[in-house]
Amino acid sequence: MDWKEKYINKIVCGDCLSLMRELPDGCIDLVFADPWYYPENQKTRNAFEDDIFWMITEKWLIEILRIIKKSGHIFIAFSPQKMAKFEFVLAKLVVPLKSRIIWHYRNAGGRCADKGQFGKTYEMIYHFGFADTLNFPKEWTDERFDVWIIATPQSNYSDKKIHPFQKPIKLAERIIRLGSQETDLILDPFAGSGTTLVAAKNLGRRFIGMEINPDYVKICEDRLRQEILL
C-alpha cells in the first residue's frame, strides 16, 4: 500500500516511532506533537527509566526532523519542569529553535504535584523549523506574541475533556492556522483524543494522526466523523 493511502486523513494505531519511519523524507508541512512525559511526582522512577525516556525522545525528534519539509514548522508541547533537559536535546540535534511559547491556562490552576508546589498554570510550546515566515494576522493581536491565554478543556465546556492531557482545540487551530496553508499536510504523532486532527479538518488541511492506544484511536475516529465540528 502506498504511504499516502495508508496515512493521509487517517488516524493510525501504533507506535509513532515505527510509523514515522514509513514516511518519506520531507513530506510533512507542520507537526504539532504533544508527547507523554512521566508525572513530576512519580516517586518510583529511577535513573535508568529517565535515560530511556530521553533516548526515546531523541529518537522521535530525529524522525520529525527527517520528515518535515524545509518550508515546514514544528510545534512541540513540553513540560516546563523538563525544559532544561529538553533544550539540551534540541541543542544536541542542532534544532533551529525559533520561539518558546507559553500556553497559560488559569482555569486549571489547582493542578500541582503535591502540597509543596504552586499550582501549574502553563506549559511550554517550542516552535522550530526551517521556514522564515508565519501567517500572522495584519492586526497586532495576541497571536503575534509568545504568551497565549487559552482555557484548558473541561467537562462543562463545548470543548469537553476526554483525555487527561488534552489540548484545547482553539490552541491547535491557532498553531495550524499560523504555521500552514490550506491543503497542507499536518502530522500529530501523539494524537490522543484527536484534537489536532479535528482542528486540521476544520481548517481545510490534510492530516496524519498516530496513536498507540486503540481506545483513543476509536475516540479520534468518532470525533472526525461528527457532522458538526467543534
Q: What is the CATH number of the domain that holds 26?
A: 3.40.50.150
- Alpha-carbon distance of 58 to 65, in angstroms, equals 11
| H or E segment and range at residue 131 | none
- Alpha-carbon distance of 47 to 219, in angstroms, equals 35
pTM of the model: 0.90
Residue 182 lies in a domain: yes
Residue 191 lies in a domain: yes
Residue 109 lies in a domain: yes
How many independent structural domains does the chain possess? 1
- Alpha-carbon distance of 99 to 136, in angstroms, equals 14
The pLDDT score that the predictor gives to residue 230 is 40
Sign of CA dihedral 111, 113, 118, 120: negative
The pLDDT score that the predictor gives to residue 1 is 78
Residue 119 lies in a domain: yes
pLDDT digits (tens, 9 = 90+) for 27-74: 999 999 999 865 554 555 567 678 888 999 999 999 999 999 999 999
pLDDT digits (tens, 9 = 90+) for 91-126: 999 998 999 999 998 776 555 556 677 778 899 999
- Alpha-carbon distance of 85 to 64, in angstroms, equals 19
Quick one: which of 34, 20, 17 has its CA closest to 197? 34
Residue 208 lies in a domain: yes
Total Cβ atoms within 10 A of residue 66: 15
**Structural domain that includes position 32:** 3-39+46-225
Residue 230 lies in a domain: no
Cα torsion through 86, 19, 130, 58, rounded to 10:
20
- Alpha-carbon distance of 148 to 141, in angstroms, equals 11
